[in-house]
């Protein structure tokens, strides 16, 4: 006999799980969440999006106070770092957010069950926690158990000197030398944080380029800007071992294709080579839920696994490992379970790297369009020609819009520049509505604002930018 009966039980309270639960409850379904960690919010709120953005914000202002303030006539002297206070600022950001989820779950009358959830039969979940075991019975199970750090063979993460993103967010002091393995999102965001706070940062990347998946032309400009800030890159290289026996770490760095290794010394090594789905202890094998060769739970277009009544969303399934993608899937699956037509448009999922400048994109890159044989026109507009960017003296980067050569429909937008992450929302809305570049070009944009560069790039698609 089960302890409780539900319409939906969601395992995991990351952005996928808690949003799914709230939407299900809104739709009148009796809903529970199961969470194994002390706080709600998953990777994103506890050790991901939120703490990393708090550190990016604080470290960016620290750098501005030292470099940009004097030329604006603000004399505050050389800023000094109180790392403990900065960490407290970050922890308060996390605390406020996870408490917010707690409040929202209660407000929506979602039952929160603490402990590790395991699927033990059709519609049955056993939860072990706080020294007790209880069983929940439910019509639908949503797996939202997220992802964990990818480990590198031969490199043992101790979260002190050899760290993942989790350890890199709680370092007790600024490392003199930080070696980052992986020039992806985490490596560049957290590498930026520690560089701004005083570390010498070297990034080792396996591929011959940084941020794979991002439009190559944008990635190359991005790399140049980061190099100008002092981040060093070793591309087409891999770290094969880290010797932690001495006072300083000694990393063996080899050409990606193999060859002679060099030794690079560092105080801290950050391993940021991706994340893998997390399904440990969930009982998927016993339940017969199929996974692909990368450990991702296989779902159909309605987020259903091969086992009736079991669904999955977020980092644990295929697609970009992004909080907003997990959230949208959470909403969609809740609506499907309530008999509605939930849907996620995977062609319009924005992607933002919160460095300075920010890199934001949505839709297709030039390489993807070329590979698909789609004829397109590109319109590009630099921030050096944007009035507000000039006023702020933040002129790095550009906006690039790719539009279908025949229909003018916007297929991709790429923005490298200050505040790109906020600007990409306009492009996403336009694409969701099937806009043509002409539509963006003819939309009145306030002056002087950075988004005027988006309008100018849209004008540039038709070779009629005004300010260039
Ligand atoms: P998760 O957030 O991983 O949540 C899964 C939850 O399930 C966890 O709380 C876990 O404890 C729980 N759980 C797992 N198994 C069980 C079980 N058996 N029983 C009970 N509970 C269980 N994305 C962005 O969009 N923007 C960003 O700026 C961003 N920054 C990031 C920065 C870092 C450093 C990292 C690591 C990630 C970042 N991400 C960012 C990615 C984002 O965090 C993930 O895409 C997102 O958290 C995925 O949500 P999810 O709900 O699928 O899983
Ligand atoms: P990533 O997939 O973004 O980048 C990993 C990088 O490591 C790639 O460039 C890859 O080529 C490289 N790499 C892989 N193996 C290597 C090796 N052996 N040696 C050297 N380089 C190697 O993964 P990352 O940065 O760990 O982030 C994980 C996930 O978290 C991402 O999928 C991302 O979507 C999400 N995230 C999102 C953020 C955002 O939206 N702003 C911020 C941080 C994370």
Measured at the CA of 191, the angle between CA 186 and CA 194, to 5 degrees, comes to 130
Name residue, tokens 């996928």: 16
Give every strand in the sheet of 358-363, ordered side by side.
351-353, 358-363, 410-417, 398-404, 376-382
Residue 28 in contact with residue 338, Cβ under 8 Å? yes
Cα 413 to averaged position of ligand 1 atoms, centre (Å): 26
Residue 142 in contact with residue 311, Cβ under 8 Å? yes
Ligand 1 closest atom vs CA 147: 3
Residue 276 in contact with residue 294, Cβ under 8 Å? yes
- Summarize the chain as % helix, strand, coil (round to 5): 35, 25, 40
pLDDT tens for 120-168 read 998 999 999 989 999 999 999 999 999 999 999 989 999 999 999 999 9
Q: How far is CA 220 from CA 255, 311, 381, 397, in A?
A: 20, 39, 16, 11
Cα 19 to averaged position of ligand 1 atoms, centre (Å): 12
Question: Three-state SS across 75-130?
Answer: CCCCCCCCHHHHHHHHHHHHHHHHHHHHHHHHHCCCEEEECEEEEEECCEEEEEEC
The tens-digit pLDDT sequence of the chain (468 residues) is 456 799 999 999 999 999 999 999 999 999 999 999 999 999 999 999 999 999 999 999 999 999 999 999 999 999 999 999 999 999 999 999 999 999 999 999 999 999 999 999 989 999 999 899 999 999 999 999 999 999 999 899 999 999 999 999 999 999 999 999 999 999 999 999 999 999 999 999 999 999 999 999 999 999 999 999 999 999 999 999 999 999 999 999 999 999 999 999 999 999 999 999 999 999 999 999 999 999 999 999 999 999 999 999 999 999 999 999 999 999 999 999 999 999 999 999 999 999 999 999 999 999 999 999 999 999 999 999 999 999 999 999 999 999 999 999 999 999 999 999 999 999 999 999 999 999 999 999 999 999 999 999 999 999 999 999
Name residue, tokens 């009358």: 109
CA dihedral for 311, 141, 99, 101, sign (positive or negative)? positive
Question: Which residue's CA is minimally distant from atom 12 of ligand 1?
Answer: 12
The neighbouring-strand residues paired with 410 are 403
pLDDT of residue 1: 47
List phi, psi (to 5°) of 281. Answer: 75, 5
pLDDT tens for 374-400 read 999 999 999 999 999 999 999 999 999
pLDDT of residue 221: 98
Ligand 1 closest atom vs CA 279: 15
Question: Which residue's CA is minimally distant from atom 18 of ligand 2?
Answer: 238
Q: What is the distance, to the nearest Å, from the Cα of residue 113 to the centroid of all Cα atoms in its chain?
A: 27
Nearest ligand atom owner, CA of 45: 1
Question: Pocket residues for ligand 1 (CB within 6 Å)?
Answer: 11-17, 34-37, 42-44, 48-49, 52-53, 116-117, 144-147, 165, 186, 278, 281-282, 314-316, 321-324, 326, 354
Query: From CA 445, how far away is CA 451, in angstroms rounded?
Result: 7
pLDDT of residue 2: 55
The neighbouring-strand residues paired with 403 are 377, 410
Assign 467 to helix, strand or coil.
Answer: coil
Q: Answer whether 0.85 is exceeded by the pTM.
A: yes
List the structure tokens of 226. Answer: 């980061």
Where does residue 6 rank: exposed (0-12), middle (13-18), buried (19+ CB within 10 A)?
buried
Where does residue 84 rank: exposed (0-12), middle (13-18), buried (19+ CB within 10 A)?
exposed
Q: What is the distance, to the nearest Å, from the Cα of residue 412 to the centroid of all Cα atoms in its chain?
A: 19
Question: Which residue's CA is minimally distant from atom 15 of ligand 2?
Answer: 273
Q: How far is CA 402 from CA 35, 317, 446, in A?
A: 42, 29, 23
Residue 395 in contact with residue 381, Cβ under 8 Å? no
pLDDT of residue 154: 86
- Determine the residue of 14, 42, 184, 242 to mutate for testing ligand 2's pocket, defined as the one with the most ligand atoms within 8 A of the Cβ atom: 184
């Amino acid at each position: 006999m089960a302890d409780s009966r539900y319409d939906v039980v969601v395992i995991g309270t990351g952005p996928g799980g808690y949003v799914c639960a709230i939407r299900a409850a809104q739709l009148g379904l009796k809903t529970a969440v199961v969470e194994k960690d002390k706080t709600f919010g998953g990777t994103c709120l506890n050790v991901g999006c939120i703490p990393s953005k708090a550190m990016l914000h604080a470290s960016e202002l620290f750098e501005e106070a030292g470099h940009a303030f004097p030329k604006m006539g603000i004399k505050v002297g050389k800023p000094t770092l109180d790392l403990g206070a900065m960490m407290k600022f970050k922890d308060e950001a996390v605390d406020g957010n996870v408490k917010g989820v707690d409040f929202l779950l209660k407000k929506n009358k979602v039952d929160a069950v603490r402990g590790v959830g395991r699927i033990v039969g059709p519609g049955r979940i056993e939860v072990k926690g706080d020294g007790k075991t209880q069983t929940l019975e439910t019509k639908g199970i949503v797996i939202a158990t997220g992802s964990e750090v990818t480990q590198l063979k031969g490199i043992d993460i101790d979260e002190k000197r050899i760290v993942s993103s989790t350890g890199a967010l709680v370092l007790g002091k600024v490392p003199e030398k930080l070696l980052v393995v992986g020039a992806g999102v985490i490596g560049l965001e957290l590498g930026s944080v520690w560089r701004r706070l005083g570390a010498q940062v070297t990034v080792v990347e396996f591929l011959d380029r940084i941020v794979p998946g991002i439009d190559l032309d944008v990635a190359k400009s991005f790399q140049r800007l980061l190099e100008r800030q002092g981040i060093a890159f070793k591309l087409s290289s891999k770290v094969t071992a880290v010797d932690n026996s001495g006072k300083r770490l000694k990393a063996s760095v080899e050409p990606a294709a193999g060859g002679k290794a060099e030794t690079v010394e560092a105080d801290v090594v950050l391993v940021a080579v991706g994340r893998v789905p997390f399904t440990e202890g969930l009982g998927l094998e016993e339940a017969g839920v199929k996974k692909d060769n990368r450990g991702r739970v296989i779902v159909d277009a309605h987020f259903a696994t091969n086992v009736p009544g079991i669904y999955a969303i977020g980092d644990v399934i295929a697609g970009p490992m992004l909080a907003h993608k997990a959230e949208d899937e959470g909403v969609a699956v809740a609506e499907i379970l309530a008999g509605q037509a939930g849907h996620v448009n995977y062609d319009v999922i924005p992607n933002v790297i919160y460095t300075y400048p920010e890199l934001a994109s949505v839709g297709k890159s030039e390489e993807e369009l070329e590979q698909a044989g789609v004829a397109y026109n590109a319109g590009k507009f630099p921030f050096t020609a944007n009035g507000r960017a000039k006023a702020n003296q933040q002129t790095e980067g550009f906006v690039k819009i790719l539009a279908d050569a025949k229909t003018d429909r916007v297929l991709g937008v790429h923005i490298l520049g200050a505040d790109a992450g906020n600007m990409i929302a306009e492009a996403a809305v336009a694409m969701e509505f099937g806009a043509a570049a002409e539509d963006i070009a003819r939309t009145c944009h306030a002056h002087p604002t950075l988004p005027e560069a988006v309008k100018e790039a849209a004008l540039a698609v038709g070779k009629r930018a005004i300010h260039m």
